[in-house]
Amino acid sequence: ETGVTQTPRHLVMGMTNKKSLKCEQHLGHNAMYWYKQSAKKPLELMFVYNFKEQTENNSVPSRFSPECPNSSHLFLHLHTLQPEDSALYLCASSPEREVGTGELFFGEGSRLTVL
Amino acid sequence: GQNIDQPTEMTATEGAIVQINCTYQTSGFNGLFWYQQHAGEAPTFLSYNVLDGLEEKGRFSSFLSRSKGYSYLLLKELQMKDSASYLCAVTNSNYQLIWGAGTKLIIKP
């Protein structure tokens, strides 16, 4: 138990569906992140939120839309995805925007399959 | 470009010692992390090195040589539960975290 909870753990969707991934952290952290993890590839940082404000968007396609209503919750809205978007999506949090200097606390991920 | 190199997979025997290497080429250096990730679980923090030398934490140790762009994670007295992927990540001069693809460690009885 890392204090970061992601739902759903598994999701299968068609290319025309719209779905959302949810992340909740119970650690009192102010920064939250979305990462994409594909097999045998490095973690890819997608979005960073610090104090509910988006501070980083690493050239992610617009079919991925993040939302951070408060410091404890983070969503990733998905629409018209492609099969190559199939991956494990990890949410993480840290005390503040210190992704390079501090420990990240990860959720267990949402395994997404796009048919 | 920036990259982190680590072996894709390693196999070791229960009770033995294994060393997982990580070499990096990044624009500047502000620290190196090791994370452990069991299959289907969240990555969890193992260690952080910013100065040269060896940091020991129980059965796990992490070494850093900044001049060589090199680190290793040393696991002693291996247990079956140590079967996992080990991720190396480096913070560059812009405080971006650059990740390796991970090393899958298989422990055999």
A21 and B CB contact within 8 Å: no
Long-range pairs, B4-7, Cβ under 8 A, ≥24: B4/A42, B4/B88, B4/B89, B4/B90, B4/B98, B4/B99, B4/B100, B4/B101, B5/B100, B6/B86, B6/B88, B6/B100, B6/B101, B6/B102, B6/B103, B7/B103
Chain B residues close to A2, C-beta within 8 Å: 42, 44
Phi, psi of B6 (to 5 degrees): -145, 155
Distance from CA of B43 to the nearest CA of A (A): 6
Give the per-residue pLDDT at A97: 64
Task: Express as a percent the part of chain A with pLDDT over 70.
Answer: 95
Q: Provide CB contacts within 8 A for B2, sequence distance 6+.
A: B24, B25, B26, B27, B92, B98
Distance from CA of A69 to the nearest CA of B (A): 23
Chain B residues close to A41, C-beta within 8 Å: 101
* CB-side neighbour CA atoms (13 Å) of A67: 8
For residues A2 and A31, give the distance between their C-alpha atoms in angstroms, rounded to a whole number: 15
Closest chain A residue to B8, measured at CA? A40
Closest chain A residue to B85, measured at CA? A40
DSSP letter for A41, please. S
**Using 50, 70 and 90 to split pLDDT, how confident is the model at B9?**
very high
Interface mutation vs chain A, best among B2, B26, B45, most A CBs within 10 Å: B45
Give the per-residue pLDDT at B5: 97
pLDDT, greater one: A15 or B50: B50
**Using 50, 70 and 90 to split pLDDT, how confident is the model at B41?**
very high
Across chain B, what does the average pLDDT equal? Answer: 96
For residues A76 and A86, give the distance between their C-alpha atoms in angstroms, rounded to a whole number: 14
Phi, psi of B61 (to 5 degrees): -135, 150
Phi, psi of B89 (to 5 degrees): -145, 140
Q: Are B97 and B91 in contact (CB under 8 A)?
A: yes
Chain B residues close to A105, C-beta within 8 Å: 45
Q: Among positive and negative, which fits the CA dihedral B18, B3, B102, B88?
A: positive
pLDDT > 80? residue B45: yes
**Using 50, 70 and 90 to split pLDDT, how confident is the model at B80?**
very high
Q: Are B46 and B1 in contact (CB under 8 A)?
A: no
Nearest CB among A90, A103, A108 relative to B45 is that of A103
| Predicted confidence (pLDDT) per residue in A65-87, tens digit | 999 999 899 999 999 999 999 99
Among A89-98, B16-25, B51-60, name the one with the lowest average pLDDT. Answer: A89-98
| Predicted confidence (pLDDT) per residue in A95-114, tens digit | 876 666 778 999 999 999 99
